[in-house]
Structure formats: C-alpha cells, structure tokens
C-alpha cells in the first residue's frame, strides 16, 4: 500500500498545554536529556512537564503534527530588551527541534517563517535566540550580536580590597532586592533583557537549589549590586555579577576576595565584551571569548521608526537597500531621513539619499552596536560611500550590547 507523502500528511498548528508531554519529549530527544541527568538535578519527568506548562501558556508556540504525533516545533517568548535606553518588544526564540525522520522536508523553515510573521503581528520588531548552529540561523536572517567571555583568576590574582562604605549580605533567591537591582540595571544597560516573572522562572529553573546570592547595600542600605555564585571543588564560580555603580562593583569584589583561603580560583562569565584583564593589578589571567546570542530585525520599517538615533544635526537622507532571506516585507528600498526637530521619518520604496546596501544580518549587528559601519564596509558586508558611512557612524550610538540570559 502506497503511503501518503509526508508533505501531505503533516499539518501545522499552535501548541497548547495539552501538548506539553510531546513538547518535552521532543526537546529531550533533540538535546539528549536523559532521565539520569534530570535525576542528578533533582527532577523527574513529571517535574519537567509541570515546569513547562506555564511556558506553553505564555509563549506563542507552533508545531507540525503527523497525525497526532508532534514532529517539529518552535516557541516564541514575549520579551523586552533595552536598545540604547529604549525598551523594544522582542521575540525570544526557543524550543526549536525536529525529529530526525522529519528533517530535510522544510518543516522548520516554515515554522520559522510562521514565528517571524507572528512576531511582526505582535509588534516584536526584534528577535533573539541562542544558536545551536550559527550558519543555519545566519541563513534565516539572524546574526551574532553579543559575546560571552569566560575568565579564570587564580587566588593570588584576586584584587586587593577597595573602598566601599556599604556591606554585603547573602539573601534568599526570592529577595525583591535582586529584582530591584536588575530592573535598574536593565534600564541603564544597552542590550539587557528585562526580566518579568517568566524570565526569572527560566533563570532559576535548573540551579535554584545550588546557587547563593550576595547583595551589596550602600551606606544608606540601598541595594546596588548582586552576585549569583556557588563554590565547588575549590572554585568560586560566578553565574552573574550585576552592579549599578562602581562602589557596588568594588564591594562585591571585596566579598569575592574574602574567600581567598577557601578557593584556588575564580571562574566567571563576562558579557560586557570588554576584557577583565585590564581591571586587575595582575592582568595575566586566562580569558576565552566566543559568540553568544544572535538577533535579527523582524520588521525593518517599524524598527527604524522606533530606533533612538543620535541625531544632533540635519544629515543627508539615507537610501537603504535591504535583503532578507525569509521576510519579504523587509526587502527593498527604504528612505531614512530626519525633520527639523530631529524626528525620524522612514519611507518605504523611497530611492533618494546616499545609498547603503546590506542584508538583514548586517543591518542587525550594526544597529545593535556589535560591529561598527566602518568595519562592516571594510569586510564588504556593507556597501556605502564614505559620506554614507560617516553618517551611520554619527547617528548610531556607541555601546556594546550586554545580554546574560539564556532561554
């Protein structure tokens, strides 16, 4: 008996909480999570299903089904991210998985397109994800926008005590002071994710029982920084180091250095894209850098209208010619100009102004500040004359994006 073609059998639909068991099973298969690994974290299958039900309630999730069997899936978190001091709606892509027998049939390509269209409808003009394979997501329009730097500091290299008039206290992970600090930090740090209840649930999901949190309080007893860490095998492992001012930065390093007799080294992650070595008296530390998050502009027109340009005078118009491998609405000509008050005006289809040609990936990494226009033209990712590049350098704020979350 001849079987029906796969393309005719599978159907796409939204996922609901009724699909939780299949959603988790596909994730576990794709990312090779075993029962023993769950048990080592104090979890079982029922715990995992229970933990993911709220996710399916709060995300936009889509899947292809072969009859009643889930074959491929994708989820989008409704998130917010700080772009140079302005909060943007962002679609955080996660749960991307396909059973191998259904691969190479275009299911995930269709799901990605559906996810992006859904983000556009929800005015999430930016999307971010943690890539399992960078070349694949580049083909779909995402580009690297942040790095993660891992540093190792020997106990003898720990910084000497610096002035800090406040004190450090260990607190419970549910302390409101932690969230207060992070909210203040997000508001002042380009690229940072705003954590609401769902984001905090994801942040603590796997490590809540293992980590400790230390908060720095200034002389007025106001929380100004926190440290999430654990100590194991003589290693002080820093999960997150967040501070509002340099006093809190010094105070938390004083706290770390106070563990001198207990540890052999400190290992941490740095998301600022600035090496740690320069800050230390003994700078011969080990640092390793690798790409972290990728992003893509979902809706060019809406993104440009919202973007906080550094416009201090009237510039020549820019004629942007953009290509996008997935979103047709992003392809074509856009005129970018500013009125007498410095307000941004975006016109679709306009062709006047200095010509700038690039793909959506290049546009994204340039506007995030991960790579500057001059560099992108030098490596032939950006096609523009000297004056167009000068305008871009002037109007794009200078700051490296910070993103420390994972989803």
Q: How many C-beta atoms surround the C-beta of residue 275 within 10 A?
A: 15
pLDDT score at 273: 78
Lowest average pLDDT, out of 149-158, 178-187, 354-363, goes to: 149-158
Average pLDDT of the segment spanning 306-329: 91
Q: How many C-beta atoms surround the C-beta of residue 48 within 10 A?
A: 19
Exposure on the CB side of residue 258, measured as CA atoms within 13 A: 10
Q: Is the pLDDT of residue 33 over 60?
A: no
pLDDT score at 222: 98
Matching fold, domains 6-124 and 149-291: yes
pLDDT score at 275: 79
Q: Is the pLDDT of residue 34 over 60?
A: no
Q: Is the pLDDT of residue 183 over 70?
A: yes
- Regarding the domain delimited by 149-291, which CATH topology (the fold level of the hierarchy) does it fall under? Aminopeptidase (3.40.630)
Lowest average pLDDT, out of 24-33, 187-196, 320-329, goes to: 24-33
Handedness of CA 309, 396, 331, 191 (dihedral sign): negative
Tell the CATH superfamily of the 294-395 domain.
SCP2 sterol-binding domain (3.30.1050.10)
User: Could you tell me which residue, 115 or 341, shows the higher pLDDT?
Assistant: 115
**pLDDT tens across 237-291, in order?**
999 999 999 999 999 999 999 999 999 999 999 998 777 888 888 888 899 999 9
Q: Is the pLDDT of residue 146 over 50?
A: yes
Q: Percentage of the chain surpassing pLDDT 70?
A: 93
Domain extents in the chain: 6-124, 149-291, 294-395
Q: Percentage of the chain surpassing pLDDT 90?
A: 77
The answer to whether the beta carbons of residues 15 and 56 sit under 8 Å apart is yes
Q: Is the pLDDT of residue 190 over 50?
A: yes
pLDDT score at 49: 47
User: Could you tell me which residue, 341 or 371, shows the higher pLDDT?
Assistant: 371
- Regarding the domain delimited by 6-124, which CATH topology (the fold level of the hierarchy) does it fall under? Aminopeptidase (3.40.630)
**pLDDT tens across 38-79, in order?**
444 344 444 444 455 567 888 999 999 999 999 999 999 999
């Amino acid at each position: 008996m001849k079987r029906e073609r796969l393309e005719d059998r599978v159907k796409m639909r939204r996922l609901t909480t009724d699909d939780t068991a299949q959603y988790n099973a596909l994730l576990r298969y794709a990312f090779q999570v075993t029962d023993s690994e769950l048990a080592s974290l104090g979890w079982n299958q029922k715990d995992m299903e229970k933990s993911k039900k709220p996710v399916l309630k709060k995300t936009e999730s889509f899947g292809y089904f072969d009859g009643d069997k889930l074959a491929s899936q994708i989820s989008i978190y409704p998130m917010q991210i700080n772009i140079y001091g302005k909060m943007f709606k962002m679609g955080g892509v996660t749960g991307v998985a396909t059973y191998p027998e259904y691969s190479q049939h275009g299911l995930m390509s269709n799901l990605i397109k559906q996810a992006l269209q859904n983000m556009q409808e929800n005015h999430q003009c930016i999307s971010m994800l943690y890539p399992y394979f960078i070349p694949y997501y580049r083909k779909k329009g995402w580009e690297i926008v942040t790095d993660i730097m891992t540093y190792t500091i020997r106990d003898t290299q720990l910084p000497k005590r610096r002035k800090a008039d406040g004190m450090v206290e260990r607190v419970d992970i549910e302390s409101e002071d932690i969230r207060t600090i992070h909210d203040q930090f997000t508001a002042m740090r380009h690229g940072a994710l705003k954590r609401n209840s769902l984001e905090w649930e994801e942040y603590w999901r796997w490590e809540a029982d293992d980590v400790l949190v230390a908060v720095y309080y200034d002389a007025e007893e106001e929380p100004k920084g926190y440290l999430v860490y654990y100590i194991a095998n003589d290693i002080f492992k820093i999960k997150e180091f967040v501070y509002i001012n340099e006093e809190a930065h010094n105070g938390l390093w004083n706290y770390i250095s106070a563990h001198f007799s207990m540890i052999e080294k400190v290992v941490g992650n740095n998301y600022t894209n600035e090496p740690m070595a320069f800050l230390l008296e003994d700078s011969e530390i080990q640092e390793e850098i690798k790409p972290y998050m990728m992003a893509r502009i979902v809706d060019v027109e809406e993104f440009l209208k919202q973007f906080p340009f550094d416009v201090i005078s009237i510039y020549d118009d820019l004629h942007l010619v953009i290509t996008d491998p997935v979103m047709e609405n992003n392809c074509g000509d856009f005129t970018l100009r500013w009125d007498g008050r410095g307000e941004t005006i975006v016109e679709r289809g306009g062709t006047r102004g200095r010509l700038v040609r690039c793909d959506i990936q290049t546009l994204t990494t340039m506007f995030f500040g991960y790579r500057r226009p001059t560099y992108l033209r030098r490596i032939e990712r950006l096609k523009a004359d000297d004056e167009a590049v000068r305008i871009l350098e002037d109007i794009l704020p200078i700051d490296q994006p910070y993103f420390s979350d994972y989803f």
